[in-house]
Structure 1
């Protein structure tokens, strides 16, 4: 057609450059991605884990302390992590994790492609793309925080690479287990086992579905979803987890609805070094373990770490007996403190007694110099004058009270006086046949009073020392409990037995008339008869006996006056010494650690009992028989239900009365000068328990003997403790007679003893020095 022109066709080769350019860019992109992943794998973007590290991811594992009945007493850790196995995880916990954090966990190989595309398209508004494996990779190997977008990109790439390696190295179950064991749930709850214990006081397998949902909900951000600070937010998050479980077919809708309506119950049980059970014992054990570690290196010569190597320490402590001991100490001392405070209301030198103004000031100054405040300021280069001035300046502080921690304002100097006014206690319970220590209470509150009154502290023991004198006389001179001695005044002259001056002890009741059997004399704690006995034996044999009984004697002088209990001895030493009497004269070194294992269960230490013969069976039994007299006719009769039924003073002074024990009990009370220390040592055939009560400063004490004697200060703790122990038949604490040796040659039955050697049957039992 005229006037028209035909459109020319574009040659095909003209599009080649675009097609070639596209595929070139695509290829370069693929190559770049491959190179980026290779570079990441080679560590060019930061350190990557080696094969060996993937095989054994480095994780700080807490050392766990177990009681003899299998309960966890506490842990030593830099991170409070105790790993568990997949089989110990309840199904609903695993299901909650997968439903909430990674629905396609079992379908992907470390990276969820669908989730990644969705996150990229919607910029994370419809959920993130991190799989459980990626989250684990981040926790294990990429913990450095990215500072900018580029670093975040490289970190994400590293997570992807490590995730794929983890998936090749481990099963899905192992990845889930490592993830749960690694996550930090705050409040020193690192790992699911610590979290279960701290938030619910349970093992993981004991968790309920709604409790598992709380813990899985915290995985999003444990600081934000903190049940102790934001309970309503955490409850909402818990219900969201339950909804996810329903969405993924793990929960029926009706079950979800009922669980979402439940209140959120948290049983917060912190596991800090200052909290929990047996805190004083754990502090002692920490020192024991540090010494053991120094002497027992790993096979490669390096030292074990108490805080990172996941050791398992199996102790002798029984969790129930420890619980009963702590309860008895707390209940009695809290009540006794009220009376102590009342009696100090009109004391112008409170809390001190018997001290001049200058002596009180010296005591305060000494306390200032050993305080943490003084040491800290000294390290800062402050002068003594500046430091002392700081003790006079009021400051905000939190202080201990029996009604809970108090927020207050006072000077550090006043806080010293405040804390000195508190009565303290120590208690230890031991099986005499095995040496196993079953309970250890070193004070009233470890967080505020670190000093351990079981092993660290040494105090005058008062009349609890007298059985050592009697045992020496029985062993050497074959005295019988039925033998009699005069109660009259008795003097050991200067120069005899190393005496520098004449020594003539007085009896607490002021009575010096008549004759008493040894059983009556020990029950009444008669000083003059004890003096006569040590005069017959001499002090050196008594000290020799003490050494054999495991007591440190280097500071005990060989003079007769030790018979009345002037030496300073620890409660630990006293309990192990008395245990020898109950163990038929065989001393056994106290056992606190039965076994130590590494994280794989390999036994590193097994206790081997250390024993030695100290007394004959006969001498030990006769000593026990004498001590039974204390609970039959002396100050220990307060343990019997028939004693002082209408004694209003005693009912007011102590807790847990009446005790109403009917079984054989051997024991001895003790009170020191000015009522600074109250003691009770009590024995049944398979358990020996000692109790000490007093203030940290010996000048802080009751003004009179009624409240200040061992029978009021210490014995009630023993009584309450043993009531609880006997109420638990699983503990198998004996109510039987003490075992009598065959062919006993020393008479213990005074009814058939020669009448001419018997006299006064009435024994004072109110006072005990």
Structure 2
């Protein structure tokens, strides 16, 4: 019996059967599947990090650049954190889409966000046969969690999030929308975010205008844009492009022969960087930026929040014409670059260069002011450096990159020497405007925004010299009913002490210290005769002239002093052009317009410009002023626009003569010591004003040979207008100014005394003996 019990106790366990193994396998497999499902559920619940909400999937957060669009439909600039302007699927060429699918995701149209075959291939080959990220997964990464981590656990959780988001994106969007979002979001480096910015920056064209090989280049960059950078590594980019072309042939989008032919083509880059300091209309864009910062605060969204000009994708339609802007910048560069050479020659024997008529103490004061407003001074002050240490640092030689008209140059000099070097450079401000609409068509605020940020159109007010005289004449014609043909005597004139509040007698002098006797008002303005203008001021009084200027839209400070008759007042180029335009617009002032329309990213209008106008003078008076100003270009300081006159060094500075034959109304101006040169010229549908001088008024040409407005500024107008006339699409008028019906003011002066020489200089401002 005991033996039976022992047998029972020592009975061997039966081996597990096939059914048990199968059961364990399925339990393990189902457990694994459940774990995977739970893992992905955890990812979708946000256990591994925040996941996008439904609203975020519907409207994925992105920074969309604000576009600045010219009147001729060109994008001339952007405000952005990411330089990205989205486009629609229909604006993408088919071969760009085909190249992308062929290279990045061959089964894109078949899967639902995750390519099972590609994933299995990647796992079995341990990644040696390439990754398995679909275009949708890549979009998910771009939109919601950025670049992957080097940590394996984090990479796994991020991949899970990526898959979950990709599936949600596929449910939410069409394939076309996913492709478009991906190309709009991809970063192509060099401030090119999105395919539209990329094609404009690298090729200078819109995506729809790409050729097949160009489209292949952009798709090839997507693998690693920083590495496949066509500006830095063109050879690698070309090889990568050829891989894309091969893939397109392999997938049947192009023929093998076509692929081989396109692979032989070189990269055809037209690299035009888009940054806040590059491109055209840089000064205007900065002026516009400051304006828009104020505008968005005053015009909030419906929910009360403020538009962000860097993120909200506004479209700002401006009055600037990209062609005229280009011609204006070219004209300024062409003239000032040549004129600058003469300025350096002029300064060779000047111990105080570039300053004239000041002593060493005054030079030291100028340099100290410049040092204290420099970036170096600001940074060292913030670091707690003493003033004496900061001043010493300006005498220590250092490596720097400086501006020259032949390109930026690396050099070694002290910061103080660099300040003095930059004070040698002549600056310019130029604005062109349509008198009838107020639309500003060109705005050139300086010679190079990268090195000189001060805007000489809307920001800088300078002494206007003889360009102020037409305002005195306009006041006299309106109030005293004079005509351009009325006679006046050019003779010595003294305004006695006490008159209009002056503290001592004022005896203005003509520029050549001579007098011509009896002359018409037209001749007097053509010759810019100081004594005649002073006599007219004496008859109407400073207040009446100031009131006229206010009606003409001039907002700058104008003292009620007789000295303003000769231009002893600082005004901006923009104010002067708008005021002159009133005469070309038959006496109606139109406030300058630079924004015509603002839209949100959906095309909803937020602003439409409404012209602001004011009747200032009658059509007859306005036309009389136009005839006076025509006299300046017929026989006065502007006559060189019409003749073959060369003058001393004139051809060297300005190039060939212009020989305009059409009616031109204009006026030159020169301030005291030749510090400021002006010319404002008008044809019926375009008024253009130009100022030229140094930033520091103590820096200027020594004599009137180059220091007067007829040589400093007038040539820029000539170059600009020649370019505008050559572009027939601009329709710049060569006709005469419209004559009012029943004109009551005599303007046809049959007896006009011609000057002795075509080289007529305008009267320079003479205020040295006048206490104002």
Q: TM-score, normalised by structure 2?
A: 0.96
Distance apart, 1:373 and its partner CA: 1.3
Native 8 Å contact 2:584 2:684 kept in 1: yes
Work out which of the residue numbers 305, 319, 322 in structure 1 matches 2:322.
319
Work out which of the residue numbers 358, 364, 379 in structure 1 matches 2:367.
364
Native 8 Å contact 2:335 2:653 kept in 1: no
Distance apart, 1:206 and its partner CA: 0.7
Q: Against the structure 1 CA distance between its residues 418 and 759, is the aligned structure 2 distance closer, same or farther, given a 3 Å change threshold?
A: closer
Match for residue 632 of structure 1?
634
Work out which of the residue numbers 763, 766, 769 in structure 1 matches 2:760.
766
Distance apart, 1:358 and its partner CA: 0.7
Q: Deviations over 1:419-451 (max 9, x none)?
A: 111000000000000000000000000011000
Distance apart, 1:17 and its partner CA: 3.0
Distance apart, 1:617 and its partner CA: 1.0
Native 8 Å contact 1:524 1:763 kept in 2: no
Native 8 Å contact 2:648 2:705 kept in 1: no
Distance apart, 1:405 and its partner CA: 0.9
Q: Deviations over 1:706-765 (max 9, x none)?
A: 1111111100000010011111121111111111111211111122xxxxxx67443664
Work out which of the residue numbers 236, 241, 248 in structure 2 matches 1:238.
241
Match for residue 459 of structure 1?
462
Distance apart, 1:23 and its partner CA: 1.0
Work out which of the residue numbers 284, 288, 308 in structure 2 matches 1:305.
308
Work out which of the residue numbers 583, 586, 610 in structure 2 matches 1:584.
586
Match for residue 618 of structure 2?
616
Query: Within 5 Å, which residues of 2 pair with 1:368-387?
Result: 368-387=371-390
Partner Cα distance (2:611, 2:516) in 1: 48
Match for residue 290 of structure 1?
293
Query: Within 5 Å, which residues of 2 pair with 1:5-20?
Result: 14-20=17-23
**What SS does the aligned partner of 1:438 have?**
strand
Distance apart, 1:506 and its partner CA: 0.6
The answer for unaligned runs of 5 or more in structure 2 is 1-11, 765-772
Query: Within 5 Å, which residues of 2 pair with 1:724-763?
Result: 724-751=723-750, 760-762=753-755
Which deviates further from its counterpart, 425-434 or 339-348?
339-348
Which deviates further from its counterpart, 297-306 or 343-352?
343-352
Partner Cα distance (2:538, 2:622) in 1: 21
Query: Within 5 Å, which residues of 2 pair with 1:191-206?
Result: 191-206=194-209
Partner Cα distance (2:543, 2:458) in 1: 25
Is 1:393 aligned to residue 396 of structure 2? yes
Partner Cα distance (1:628, 1:759) in 2: 13
Work out which of the residue numbers 324, 344, 353 in structure 2 matches 1:341.
344
Is 1:495 aligned to residue 498 of structure 2? yes
Q: Deviations over 1:324-361 (max 9, x none)?
A: 00000011100110111111122111111111111111
Distance apart, 1:86 and its partner CA: 0.4
Partner Cα distance (1:65, 1:320) in 2: 15
Partner Cα distance (1:630, 1:727) in 2: 24
Match for residue 108 of structure 1?
111
Match for residue 568 of structure 1?
570
Partner Cα distance (2:632, 2:755) in 1: 13
Partner Cα distance (2:81, 2:406) in 1: 32
**What SS does the aligned partner of 2:718 have?**
helix
Match for residue 149 of structure 2?
146
Match for residue 524 of structure 2?
521
Partner Cα distance (1:737, 1:500) in 2: 46
Match for residue 710 of structure 1?
709
Distance apart, 1:147 and its partner CA: 4.6
The answer for unaligned runs of 5 or more in structure 1 is 1-8, 752-757
Native 8 Å contact 1:523 1:763 kept in 2: no
**What SS does the aligned partner of 1:397 have?**
strand
Query: Within 5 Å, which residues of 2 pair with 1:162-181?
Result: 162-181=165-184
Question: Once superposed, what is the RMSD of the aligned Cα atoms?
Answer: 1.4
Partner Cα distance (1:91, 1:77) in 2: 29
Report the number of matched residues.
751
Partner Cα distance (2:611, 2:753) in 1: 45
Which deviates further from its counterpart, 658-667 or 511-520?
511-520
Native 8 Å contact 1:520 1:763 kept in 2: no
Query: Within 5 Å, which residues of 2 pair with 1:240-259?
Result: 240-259=243-262
Distance apart, 1:465 and its partner CA: 0.5
Match for residue 675 of structure 1?
674
Partner Cα distance (2:653, 2:21) in 1: 100
**What SS does the aligned partner of 1:750 have?**
coil
Match for residue 424 of structure 1?
427
Match for residue 659 of structure 1?
658
**What SS does the aligned partner of 1:605 have?**
strand
Q: Deviations over 1:552-582 (max 9, x none)?
A: 24x3221111100010000010000001111
Native 8 Å contact 1:637 1:643 kept in 2: no
Work out which of the residue numbers 473, 480, 493 in structure 2 matches 1:470.
473
Distance apart, 1:13 and its partner CA: 5.7
Match for residue 75 of structure 1?
78
Which deviates further from its counterpart, 346-355 or 280-289?
346-355
Partner Cα distance (1:572, 1:537) in 2: 26
Distance apart, 1:660 and its partner CA: 1.4
Distance apart, 1:82 and its partner CA: 0.1
Native 8 Å contact 2:312 2:601 kept in 1: yes
Q: Deviations over 1:252-303 (max 9, x none)?
A: 1111111111111211000000000100000000011111101000000000
